[in-house]
A and B are shown apart, each in its own frame.
Chain A
């Protein structure tokens, strides 16, 4: 079974600054995907960024980037130029890459990020 751990329950950052959220995972699979989801107070889960385990290059989406360390099983999210709208709960999630396993997501406990003006 896979596990995902987020060791920072809460974090805060000043607007326009950079913040990094941590995530570690445990799996014996070699083919998998990692995700960061954002859940604002509206409750709707929104995909922020995705990383395929077979890709060595770290994924980037505008102000969001990841540091994927496969050997260390670490998957951190960096948010640059933080904006007030980034305030939300952030979840790290794992998915087995084998289609026969289905596409279930295993989530971490979440990190509440607050961006202060």
Chain B
């Protein structure tokens, strides 16, 4: 059984550019959540996708957008990058929405905005 994978591992972008991060959920998982983890802080919830539909969003501006594909993999897109977007981006997948389902995290994508 393949775990949650994310690509790329590291990424350096310039302020104002756009970036796409990718997440492959664990086999059979239909729910993907994205989190932003700034250096030295706990992860902050960005949004969640359940069966290809957005199912909840945290306090992030509209330039953070996402997508979930029929195979339940997911993308996080960030437009008009700002310096404060520099962070570790984590995705997590699970069997469903209930808290009884464990969320499995990927290794993250480290984004640096210069």
Known interface pairs A109-B41, A109-B42. Does A46 touch B105 (Cβ–Cβ under 8 Å)?
yes
Known interface pairs A45-B90, A107-B43, A110-B42. Does A102 touch B56 (Cβ–Cβ under 8 Å)?
yes
B74 within 8 A of A: no
A102 contacts across to B, CB distance below 8 A: 48, 50, 55-56, 97
The 8 A CB mask of B21-61 against A (1 = contact, 0 = none) is 00000000001010100001111110010100001101000
Q: Which of the four size classes fits the interface of chain A?
A: 20 to 34
Residue of A nearest to B105 (CB): A45
Does the CB pair A103–B97 fall under 8 Å? Answer: yes
Residue of A nearest to B109 (CB): A43
Give, as a whole number of angstroms, the nearest-CB distance from B81 to chain A.
21
Does the CB pair A104–B33 fall under 8 Å? Answer: yes
A56 within 8 A of B: no
A45 contacts across to B, CB distance below 8 A: 43, 90, 92, 105
Does the CB pair A106–B108 fall under 8 Å? Answer: no
Residue of A nearest to B98 (CB): A99
- Not counting A45-B90, A91-B42, A99-B97, a sample of 12 additional A-B residue pairs whose C-beta atoms are within 8 angstroms of each other reads A33-B100, A44-B106, A44-B107, A45-B92, A93-B42, A97-B98, A103-B99, A104-B48, A104-B56, A105-B35, A105-B45, A107-B35
Pick 15 A–B contacts, CB within 8 A, sort by A.
A32-B99, A45-B90, A46-B105, A91-B43, A93-B42, A97-B98, A97-B99, A101-B56, A103-B96, A103-B97, A104-B48, A105-B35, A107-B42, A107-B43, A107-B44
Interface residue ranges, B against A (CB under 8 Å): 31, 33, 35, 40-45, 48, 50, 55-56, 58, 88, 90, 92, 94, 96-103, 105-108
